[in-house]
Structure 1
Amino acid sequence: MIFHSINTYNAGRPLMLSTDKSMFRSVNMSAIAEAFGKIESKFNASAAAGLDVVFQFNVDGETFHLVVADNACKLAEGEHNDPTVTLIMDHATLEEIISGDLNGMQAFMAGRLRTEGDMMLATRLSDLFGI
């Protein structure tokens, strides 16, 4: 990690500013993980009857997946070996979808969301998670 000293002092110690961009990635990663926690908390088990699917999300290069089976939902970090559908977007798009400012179809039509796999399954996200 590279640090640059500046002339501001904090409790007698120089204030150090990092130029290491990986620090920003970890902050963004935490925000993405938090966003997926919000999605998981909105799970509607009654809408999942008969489903056994994996929704995989690639957000700004970070991957998470939601396994929906037996009327339950489990969130995991990383890639699944056989996702049913993968949704690819940036963090801003994910936050707008979660907040309700943007729906998935609008994001898809605007080119802000791409899918791989069973695209029609992606339309079930609103029933399953209220997003």
Structure 2
Amino acid sequence: MSEAKEIFEEINTALGENPSHVEGFNAVYQFELEGEEPYQLVLRGENSYAKQGTDEEADCTLKMNTEDFKALSEGNLNGTQAFMSGRLKIKGNMGLALKLQNILSSYKAASK
């Protein structure tokens, strides 16, 4: 199993166990990671999930390599700095992209 797939499965499990961190959200993030199939993070309160594929229309698409995604999801990479340095490319709603790091870090903190 790829590292990206493991991370998205962990995110999916966390969303199912505790959707409170995404209450009030209605957004679809698409992740295009080098060497991987696309993944989506669909945030719709209690109906939130992460999956491989592109079934939903994305509000915000993020392109990066898998190592940077892992670092971002673990809170070891600042999304704004990654964007400014060209390690992260964003298409779509920039405001949603800025909120993503807080969402990921809230689940990371809850899993400790």
Question: TM-score normalised to the size of structure 1?
Answer: 0.68
TM-superposed CA distance for 1:78, in Å, is 1.0
Superposed CA deviations along residues 42-100 of structure 1, whole A, max 9, x for unmatched, are 54633322221101100014200011103442111111341110100001111111222
In the alignment, structure 1 residue 58 sits paired with structure 2 residue 35: no
Structure number with the higher helix fraction is 2
Counterparts of residues 32-51 of structure 1 (less than 5 Å):
32-43=4-15, 45-51=19-25
Q: Which position in structure 1 is the counterpart of 2:53? A: 78
Larger Rg: 1
* Cα distance change of structure 1 residues 125 and 41 upon mapping to structure 2, 3 Å threshold: farther
In the TM superposition, structure 1's runs of 4+ consecutive aligned residues that sit over 6 Å from their partners are none
Q: Which position in structure 2 is the counterpart of 1:13? A: none
* Cα distance change of structure 1 residues 37 and 67 upon mapping to structure 2, 3 Å threshold: same
The one-letter code matched in structure 1 to 2:79 is: G
* Cα distance change of structure 1 residues 128 and 100 upon mapping to structure 2, 3 Å threshold: closer
Question: TM-score normalised to the size of structure 2?
Answer: 0.78
Q: Which position in structure 2 is the counterpart of 1:125? A: 100
Q: Which has the higher contact order (CA 8 A, sep 6+)?
A: 2
Counterparts of residues 88-107 of structure 1 (less than 5 Å):
88-107=63-82
Structure number with the higher strand fraction is 1
Distance of 1:81 and 1:41 partners within structure 2:
19
The one-letter code matched in structure 2 to 1:113 is: L
User: Identity, % of aligned pairs?
Assistant: 33
Q: Which position in structure 2 is the counterpart of 1:109? A: 84
Give the gaps of 5 or more residues in structure 1: 1-26
